[in-house]
A and B are shown apart, each in its own frame.
Chain A
Amino acid sequence: MATRLEPTTSNDTGRRARGSATFNSTIGEYDYSNFFYSSSEDVFGIFPQFGDWYYGHAKNSGYYLFGQPMSTPPTPYISLEEQLGHEQVKLLNLASYNYLGLSYHPEVVAAAHAALDKYGLGAAGSPLLSGMMEIHDELEHELAKFKGADTAIVFPTGYSTNVGLISALMRPGDWIIMDQNSHASIVDGAILAKSNARFFRHNRADDLDRKLRDTSGRKLVVVEGVYSMDGDVAHLPEIVEVAKKHGARILIDEAHSGFVYGANGRGVAEHFNLEKEVDLFVGTFSKALGGMGGYVTGSEDLYIYLKGFARSRVFSCALSPVVAAGVLQALKIVQREPQLRARLWNNVAYMRKLLAAGGVDVGESTSHVIPVMIRNDRRVFAIAHELQRAGLYLQPIIYPAVAKHRSRFRISISSTYTTEQMDRAAEILIGVLRAEGVLSSEDAA
């Protein structure tokens, strides 16, 4: 294994300074979690030590791979500015959420252009006051129709959707029982609600039952359709059964599964034929629809209550009309062209076959989100660096985003990939994993 790929420079102390990759053991001593809690007399007291770690060790050891600015749409091939040499590189992209390729679809772009001409850039107001435009209204109606719900209410981001919904409905003394792998927006919603919060072991209905056993009063169970780090699907039938037994309401966040799962693309609840059993549906526009924003679907009563009490929506500017128009067009395409989902699932099957043939460990994934398990926190950055040098864009994911020794890369499959692109991606990936000793030729099926 290469421990140092290029000569080290010692002057990389500035944000834009050039540097070179140095994969050494120091990175293993600290991570982001070490710098969250500390006691000192100054609010800024942690900055010197954090800065020393970040610029002295972390950045050149691999953190530079996060947030590299792209100069293209999130198409199968992208260009981005590599963060050490600040050079443009062209990469085969398996990292974007753009599951149906809609972020750059010509009709979506045209709709956004038209909305820009009609409305200008921003909504210039809270949706509760002056920020609501015809395009928002149209989007909410189209979405409600698609989901088979009475209403849909749009939020400016997916994050603000869970935060606003949960904190609007739940109060101190209530119980929120979440899957331990819940997204930060769910956790932060529970924190803001000041309710009693518990976490059940991932996808374990038996542990949910244990966590609900001594609760009383108002209860909310929260799960996700597809979990974003492991790509596994909620065990919804068992979870619904337990939640109902304890009289708990059920919220499903279909951020990664909406517009992708189910016969009509309505999500994992549709996939399991449990839409009538689930009480609250959350989703985002930033994954399969390629835009941004989030939504809740439900009853008219829920709509008017959230309109008044979802503080993350009330006290934010409304979603840009430009984005709303693009998302609306994307939603129409999803309904008009079910073949996009069919193509996605064909691509998922094809890529899974390639990875299995190469002996790649994909963990528990059964979805279009496919982790490539490295299980070596010290080496994942060096492997990511080699992948990028070989022309493949994948984001490394390490502790504390995932458990220790569960480091990985996350593949997001898109319906837009050609078989040639997936062949090439798998060839690069398996080649690098073999060169780095993660795979051997014996691993191949």
Chain B
Amino acid sequence: MSGTNEFVEYRFRHSIAGFFEFPTANALQLLPPHLQPIEPHHGQSVLSVMAFDFNGSMVGEYGELIMSVLVAPRLEKDQPLPRSAFYPVLLGTTTTASREHAIERWHLPHFMDDIDLKWTPGEHEIEVAASHKGAKILDLRITDYDWENVNHRYQSFMTDASGSYMATIIMEAQFSENEEERGQVTFGNHEFTKMIDRDSVNTTPFRELWMRDGLQTFHPLQQIAGPTK
């Protein structure tokens, strides 16, 4: 693959995420066999609903909605543990260029049409309304707590017909995180979220995360398994 030895940077105004408990039985349906879901409670895994407002990248400004399952991180010799690890099950972007870029470079699974993201940032909370051709996908509200500057390390896993991959991602930003249970997600009846059992998702996030004015850096992609036979 061309260009996979490069570090790729994406600047963003806002990155928000809510972690929601949902049944592990549903999580296992979404994960490849080599990944193990994290359970904050027995029988309950973590659905991450995340949105980015990118304002600087090799494919311009765009918005991105990501549905992921939190998974066990991969230990790498002489490398620090990541803060957490994700398996994105579906992404939606607001531009075709950003979608094609992420599929080609990062092997990420995408909803194959442009979506709309409407951001409403406030002083202590932020909302994003995700829709597709006027139909609601979901609304996500996240609240803040104390803010600090951070440099966090994450892992993202991807699987497609060409194999299984992992990317280390560094996030540098102002960061706020809380478990005050003040946020919320509401789902529309849209095919974007059809892979999750929406009625069984706890609609109050047990953790809310918000990053502002940050830089996301993808380390070179590592192939961890070959094509599925």
Contacts and interface: CB of A to CB of B under 8 A. Distances in A.
B178 A38 contact: no
B147 to A, nearest CB: 13
A34 interface: yes
Contact of A196 (B21, B41, B43, B177): B43
Interface of A: 29-30, 34-35, 37-40, 45-46, 49, 180, 187, 190-191, 196-199, 201, 403-406
Given A403-B179, A404-B179, A405-B180, A38 B43 contact: no
A199 B44 contact: yes
A191 B42 contact: yes
Interface stretch (B49-57, B72-80, B184-192, B212-220): B72-80
Instruction: List 10 tightest A-B contacts by C-beta distance, closest first.
Output: A37-B72, A403-B179, A40-B75, A197-B43, A404-B179, A39-B72, A39-B74, A38-B75, A199-B41, A197-B42
A190 B21 CA distance: 18
A149 to B, nearest CB: 29
Contacts of A35: 81
Given A40-B75, A404-B207, A187 B179 contact: no
Contacts of A37: 36, 38, 71-73
Interface in B121-163: 145-146
Given A39-B35, A49-B75, A405-B180, 11 more contacts: A29-B83, A37-B36, A38-B73, A38-B81, A39-B36, A46-B75, A198-B43, A199-B21, A199-B41, A403-B206, A405-B145
Interface of B: 21, 34-36, 38, 41-44, 71-75, 80-81, 83, 145-146, 177-180, 204, 206-207
B179 A406 contact: yes
Contacts of A403: 179, 206
B177 A404 contact: yes
Describe B's contact surface by its main secondary structure.
loop
A198 B35 CA distance: 23
Contacts of B80: 49
Given A34-B81, A404-B177, A39 B75 contact: yes
Nearest to A50: B81
Contacts of B75: 38-40, 45-46, 49
B178 A49 contact: no
Given A30-B81, A37-B73, A38-B72, A190 B177 contact: no
B72 A187 contact: no
A178 to B, nearest CB: 9
Nearest to B208: A404
Nearest to A187: B42
A403 B19 CA distance: 13
A39 B224 CA distance: 12
Contacts of B74: 38-40
Contacts of A45: 75
A30 B177 CA distance: 14
